[in-house]
Structure 1
Amino acid sequence: MYRNPFVPAIVVCLAVLTSEISIGRADAAERPNVIVIMSDDQGVGDYGFMGNPVIRTPELDAMHRRSGFLSKFYVSPVCAPTRACLMTGRYNYRTRCIDTYIGRAMMDSDEVTIAEFLKDAGYRTGIYGKWHMGDNYPLRAMDQGFQDSLVHRGGGIGQPSDPIGAEGKYTDPTLIKNGEETPMEGYCTDIFFDAAMDFIDQSVRADESFFTYIATNAPHGPFHDVPEALYEEYLKVDFSPILINKLDPKRLEQESDKLARIAAMITNIDENVGRLFTKLDTLGVRENTIVIYLNDNGPNTMRYVGDMRGMKSHVDDGGIRSPLVFHWPAKVNAGRSSDVLCAHIDLLPTLLDACGVDVPADHKLDGRSFLPLLTGQATSLPPRQIVLQTHRGDQPQPYHHFALHEEPWKLVHPSGFGRESFSGQPRLQLYDLSKDPRQKNNVADQYPEVMRRLKQDYDAWFQDVSSTRPDNYAPPRIVIGTEHEMQSVLTRQDWRHTQGRPWAGNSNGVWLLEAPEAGEYQIELIFSGGHPGGKATITAGELTETLAIAAGNRRGHTTDLKLPAGKLTLAVDVVFEGKVQGPHQVILTRRDR
């Protein structure tokens, strides 16, 4: 794992502590296997067992009946922040992963993931699906503890990070297998579950404990490529019972088509969950395998969220809640449930608790184990607060788009995820969720002392997470030219945006790089196609190179650069018909090693 030499030793210390991990409290032969399944944009209400009358999830409903259940489980309002919290047991503002794109979905490589903890304790580790915390060394899942990795780049298939020639392909996609672009056959969700089950099979046959993370990109958009047979079935369904807003006939038809596609993807995930349990039965390991299911944020349309309100990107409860289904027959009785306040930051400490893996005393976690609630060792835990905050931009702003939860209170400022900042004084709202789960009655004026106290607690939280490391919100850098990644594919997902809308054709940005040593590189510029002839100016630190761009050619625009050691910024300014824009992607290949 790469350790940035510019990070102070006190921070680096947190990472190297994993070398001291032992399984102390659990005999290796008895410790459980672990499978975490997390869907993308599914939403808290998209399950039969959560009361959804339309979307079919029979396998998950059956899993729920056999499992323990947390009914008050919180996640972040959007993708990457939830994943950083889940992987580290720490608030994402500690990890430098603060947004979902343009270089701010990259998690600092000094963070210690659950995969690293379990790998160092002797588990085999594999990830299948969505990572969304960095596509280049040292930020990839394979650099952060996962020994086997089959993922897509960026935040989803159909984004600018897609491999060239395979853009938007949910069926027969090109995925990244252990760092290499690999064409695959089949539907993406099926592929991820197949690969996970192969990994599980190999682990069991080798008599090794395993940690398997299946993070589907479904039902995230785009919605053009979905399981066809299920889509045809759902086209016949009346979706009006799960629509929040009344729509005119034309808009209803459009929305119903979208929901048919989303529902098809969800039911396809459900079918794969059934296949997974069949595999565990075949291998004889169901009894002592923990299988967890959750979603990463609220639903990607305004649809049913039970007795709450909100959707993806909202800090209202419908945007930040997930069911947490915890299947472990060896230790957790079917039907055991808890409504104690829990969140994504609790998953790492809970799983390490279950696996008997001790966390070093000086490694700071924000989460806590909820395992006693599900094993029957406890019916409650000490009172606590959970804070969730995410918005666009390069650095968090105090009070911007946050929610603080302390039973039964919710202090919230829903100022909007899509904005980098808000102006004026925050209009804080207070709700008693025990009486008002839909957040209809703002009681801020009735409880001024509660407001004052919770606001002070939020201030302390924000100060704490923002001071985790010096220059806490500086974007991580991509490290080039090492044996770990001799060819770096740089995409608009991880550039630092400088011009236009971040992913628009006329936009531009720069990449923050670091080279451990000087080296010779080939640089290739890639375009979306259909462009006129032009000229590119490539700037890397103090070096500048120009390159003619042939009209219409997506690839083949190459030149050689000798890059110095150290930190540098790579910029590519392309002029087409007098207008400047950036390339679609850049490939840097080390040539002298």
Structure 2
Amino acid sequence: MTWQTRLLFACACWSVGGGVSPAQEAGRGALPNVVLIITDDMGSADLSSYGATDIRTPRIDSLARDGVRMTAFYANAPVCTPTRAGLISGRYQQRYGLEEPMPSAGRPGGDVGLPGSPYSLPNLLAQRGYVTALVGKWHLGYRAEFSPRAHGFGSFFGLKSGYHDFYAHTGGDGKPDLWEDDRPVVMEGYTTDLITDRAVRFLEDHASRRFFLEIAYNAPHWPYQPPGRPSVAIDNARHVRPWDEATGTRADYVAMVEQVDRGVGRVLDTLERLRLAPDTIVIFTNDNGGEWLADNRPFFNRKSSVWEGGIRVPALIRWPGRIPAGTVSPQVGITMDLSATIVAATGGAAPAEARYEGLDLLPMLRGTVAPVTRTLFWRTAVGGRSQVAVRSGDWKLMLDGNNAFVFDVRADPGERQDLTRQRQDVARRLRALVAAWEADVDAEWKASGVNPRGAAGAVVH
């Protein structure tokens, strides 16, 4: 057992000590359903409940009113593929060589992915009798051994690439990118609405079963194509990045987010209509910080960086009667905590063999345990620039290229007051933590023979 695993195991045991699992509560005859909703490239301040003034998101915000809003939640990574790998595996994605966005199938590095495992989040739930489905974005591999089905999703409808045209349903290579399980399909419609339609249908078809449904919207990821206005996004063959061409406006972005909100509303209404809401955990989050049209305030920088603006994301969780309504939690969390939390809520902790590295957040969110101090790590090399960060308690060490910065991110969430000179003791302590963590995760991927760095190259993500 590594030092990091021992630390997380100790925190998890301490946080739930003396309590009982949700399944053991008096009068609880059945385990909950779970609906996990993930958006793509949404800014940390692009929901009304997180301070947005030009975007209306009443249905998503209702989860904050009826549940808990987390104020210190992080994505596993500042880009798509690695965060999703952390969610599905419940572990740091560096252990699988997935540290950068996965390119299209026919490009260098496009033949990699997250190998199927009996301990993947959907597989663990399927083993517990849950009907499982993914509707929306995958971006963890094109081949069958990397597919949603290989990880325990009983069904999959959606896209496998990072970039996706909302009307043509093509990926970054210009090829069709809409799938039913591992079979390409052709459909008309706006992708956000197609995802919502299929999610609603799944709920209607499986209302009598325990289910785990992941709804992974690709909005508001670029191309910035608002609903009701079909357009040609960009020349796919050129693979240009969104900031290379002034495509899209804030108004386009707002329309895309608000369409997601309508879709979430339809999902919530369906749960109510089918009388499933009282027994369903609904989780809303995002995969990384927002792009150039997003609002990441008060955090600095954006997607592709491990500055706070690239990794701080919204997180809302509703579980009627289990999580107090209208609460705000300062508990520090990360995407892979959702894996541990979902598994714990649906029948107990993951088996030791799964080696989950996330923390069950429920005791803290329910208020039965005080917030737990965390030590979390991030690393990226998107665009060829190496960045590594660690947050330990309120302190964050940011290594950006050859520069090191120390911040108290509780007092200075915008990372404006570099305290490296004054707190060399903190810098030295956190550097040692980073070195130990990197040695640990890199030993695992090196043993697998996978190179996580540079595989993606210049990729549209």
Q: 1:407 aligns with which of 381, 393, 396?
A: 393
Q: 1:81: which partner in 2? A: 82
Q: 1:134 aligns with which of 131, 137, 141?
A: 141
**Structure 2 CA distance for aligned equivalents of residues 456 and 114 of structure 1:** 31
Q: 2:379 aligns with which of 378, 389, 411?
A: 389
Map residues 196-235 of structure 1 onto 2, 5 A cutoff.
196-204=199-207, 207-223=208-224, 225-228=225-228
Q: Root-mean-square deviation (CA), in Å?
A: 2.9
Q: Which has the larger radius of gyration?
A: 1
Q: 1:95: which partner in 2? A: 96
- Contact 1:290/1:326 (CA < 8 Å) preserved in 2? yes
TM-superposed CA distance for 1:96, in Å, is: 2.2
**Structure 2 CA distance for aligned equivalents of residues 145 and 475 of structure 1:** 26
**Structure 1 CA distance for aligned equivalents of residues 170 and 409 of structure 2:** 45
Which structure features the higher share of helix residues? 2
- Contact 1:130/1:156 (CA < 8 Å) preserved in 2? no
Cα distance change on mapping 1:325 and 1:473 into 2, 3 Å: farther
Secondary structure of the corresponding residue to residue 183 of structure 1 = coil
Secondary structure of the corresponding residue to residue 444 of structure 2 = coil
**Structure 1 CA distance for aligned equivalents of residues 328 and 419 of structure 2:** 30
Cα distance change on mapping 1:430 and 1:294 into 2, 3 Å: same
Q: 2:49: which partner in 1? A: 49
Q: 1:335 aligns with which of 323, 326, 331?
A: 326
**Structure 1 CA distance for aligned equivalents of residues 325 and 430 of structure 2:** 37
Q: 2:129 aligns with which of 117, 122, 140?
A: 122
Is 1:193 matched up with 2:199? no
- Contact 1:174/1:184 (CA < 8 Å) preserved in 2? no
- Contact 1:89/1:346 (CA < 8 Å) preserved in 2? yes
Gaps of 5+ in 1: 1-23, 232-250, 416-425, 477-494, 504-593
**Structure 2 CA distance for aligned equivalents of residues 138 and 90 of structure 1:** 19
TM-superposed CA distance for 1:475, in Å, is: 5.6
- Contact 1:385/1:404 (CA < 8 Å) preserved in 2? yes
TM-superposed CA distance for 1:497, in Å, is: 7.3
Q: 1:305 aligns with which of 288, 296, 305?
A: 296
User: Which amino acid counterpart does residue 91 of structure 1 have in structure 2?
Assistant: Y
Deviation string for 1:456-498 (max 9, x for gaps)? 010000011112255345169xxxxxxxxxxxxxxxxxx9679
Gaps of 5+ in 2: 1-20, 104-108, 232-242
TM-score after normalising by structure 2: 0.83
Is 1:26 matched up with 2:23? yes
TM-superposed CA distance for 1:186, in Å, is: 2.0
Q: Percent identity?
A: 30
- How many residues of Structure 1 are paired with residues of Structure 2 in the alignment? 415
Off by >4 Å, runs of 4+ in structure 1: 161-164, 495-498
- Contact 2:42/2:294 (CA < 8 Å) preserved in 1? no
- Contact 1:297/1:321 (CA < 8 Å) preserved in 2? yes
**Structure 2 CA distance for aligned equivalents of residues 152 and 465 of structure 1:** 29
Cα distance change on mapping 1:133 and 1:73 into 2, 3 Å: same
Q: 2:152 aligns with which of 128, 140, 145?
A: 145
**Structure 1 CA distance for aligned equivalents of residues 322 and 23 of structure 2:** 14
**Structure 2 CA distance for aligned equivalents of residues 497 and 403 of structure 1:** 21
**Structure 1 CA distance for aligned equivalents of residues 371 and 81 of structure 2:** 30
User: Which amino acid counterpart does residue 311 of structure 2 have in structure 1?
Assistant: I
Does 1 or 2 have the higher relative contact order (CA < 8 Å, sep 6+)?
Answer: 2
**Structure 2 CA distance for aligned equivalents of residues 322 and 101 of structure 1:** 21
Deviation string for 1:42-100 (max 9, x for gaps)? 11111111111111212112221111121100111111111011111100001222211
- Contact 2:135/2:215 (CA < 8 Å) preserved in 1? yes
Which structure features the higher share of strand residues? 1
Q: 2:71: which partner in 1? A: 71
**Structure 2 CA distance for aligned equivalents of residues 469 and 312 of structure 1:** 24
Cα distance change on mapping 1:411 and 1:345 into 2, 3 Å: same
User: Which amino acid counterpart does residue 374 of structure 2 have in structure 1?
Assistant: R
Map residues 501-580 of structure 1 onto 2, 5 A cutoff.
none
Is 1:463 matched up with 2:453? no
TM-superposed CA distance for 1:349, in Å, is: 0.6
User: Which amino acid counterpart does residue 337 of structure 2 have in structure 1?
Assistant: D
TM-score after normalising by structure 1: 0.65
**Structure 2 CA distance for aligned equivalents of residues 272 and 502 of structure 1:** 29
- Contact 2:68/2:365 (CA < 8 Å) preserved in 1? yes
